[in-house]
Structure 1
Amino acid sequence: MPPISEETPMLEAPVLDPPVLDDSSGLYPAYDFRRPVQLDRESTRQLEAAFESFARLWSAQLTAKIRVRAHLALEGVELVSYEEYAGSLPGTTAMVTGSFADREEPCVVQFGLDSALLWVVQMMGGKSISLPEARTFTPIELSLVKHLMDGTFEHLSASLGPMLPGEPVFGAVHYNPQYLQVISGAAAVIVARYTMNLGDVQSTATVMLPASTVVDRLAETGRGAVPGHAAGRTLDQVRAAPMDVTLRLAPLPIGAGEILDLAPGDLLRLPHPETKPFELVVGTTPIARATTGARGSRLACTITDIHEETP
């Protein structure tokens, strides 16, 4: 290659624009690297079933206690950071914490203050067709709400069962989600969101569980839910898997030159004695010895002995 002089022109590679992917159909949603951890489909299904069961129990409790037909509908279950969860709530709301024995992270049941004041009015014998103005609870109102939430936490424990580290116990009522730092803002939490109907009045509610208290138990619950006959099915599938079985003679070493010189009609002297059984082989593994025979008009082999497994 001749040396490059100052007069030699240099060719520059053209700068290509980065390819633009056309995803007008939305098949490839943007990946959020701030939340790389997600719940798998089976875990989400188990949580949704448990939170729907809780919705039915809580609806029945509210209907019996406040004498207004209550109905809760689960909107969805998601895994977010606690900071995101707190930021999605109103500036003033009721956040009731439930503590677990030997655990620092509590769970939270959240609902509107106006909804809770409607509960109180109904429990005290009053009637209301609209939500009262939201405000913090008086000591008597707080006592009534606490009594109601004791039963709510029992229903939460009954619905989620082994997914929880124990039965939550009423802790306290907080009114500002921005100041309630029950766990680290970056910690992952599982949030169930509900639409709450109290007669003709509609509001919302949420349940928050620290992911650290649920995910491991959720995995154990999923493993325990595997049917007991799964191992038998696996064995049946292995037994039914097709495999090629070969009846093999003793090998004959032969040179490459002799192979190239082979022609139709040539005879090869095989080193396998007539009285020696053949090897029955699966793949490259000998499994038994067999002798040739016949079954009707078809060739067959008779198993003479099975190779014992060796460690």
Structure 2
Amino acid sequence: MNPVSFDFGNAMMHFRKTGGPKGFLLSYGATYVLLYVILSAVSIGLQWPIYGAMFDPAAMEDPLVMEAAMMQHMGRVLLGYAVLIPLGLAFWMIFEGANQRRYMRAEGFRLRLGGDEWRLLVVGLIWFVLLIGLYLGGIIAFIVPMAIAAATGTGEGAMIGGLLTFILALAYMIFALWLCARFSPAAALTVRDRSIRFGQAWRVTKGKAWTIVGSWIVLGLIMSVVFFVIYMIFVVAIVASLMPMMNGMESEDPSAIFRAMLSPAVLIPGALLVVGMVFLQGCGMHIFSGPAALAARTDPEWADHPAIDDTFV
């Protein structure tokens, strides 16, 4: 019998109740930062001429020069995308694989590119199609009441249309969250069963979707506060470093401003801010997967799975 019950508290804190070797979240976040930095360096290297043009004072002052530089290096940009898209997918695959194996098999942190990752790629592509559909549905939810309001051609019609737009938008956002919650265990089920699972998530989340949505909202609020506090600390440090350099500087001189932005007093706290934010982003990726993974772990049709005693000891 699975010892972990599905409730709001366990859903929110499931990332701390997975079992397995300790230190997973720290290793996950730190490795996420390291590979993110490497991937960013590859991106900058592939598209350096574009970045060079963007920060060239001559190009910054002349839109025509900027446009010419962009067109000149368009081939380099397309090559960069051709390389970065598969690298970005691989980045997501290996971290999502490690993420879900922790939840479903209580494994320690280890990155690999195997069967789990390729099956998760298929699940990710299904999610992509679903999210595109939700995006298009959201556009329709905005357009329809606005069109109705425009057709009336009156002030009252505009007010009613605006109110209806707000109500429909809010209702649609709630529906989208609920629908995403219903399918959210798809990745966990795919890793659990070593087979592509998406539609089965609907059955697993019966009666659990609103708990998942609520835990997402609370976790999102907590993460937002943490992000905001860290951001404000480093922004204050950067502004305090910039102020002495900006005093007496000609505000119209972009090259002087650019040199000030590249000073160690700005670059060091800026780099630390980026590293901290990326670390939290990686940790958030794991933490937010917890509620859906718990739904998969407490699936009543899997409670007597022969491997459960080996998986959750």
TM over 0.5, yes or no? no
TM value normalised by structure 1:
0.24
Higher-Rg member (1/2): 1
TM value normalised by structure 2:
0.24
Higher normalized helix content (fraction of residues): 2
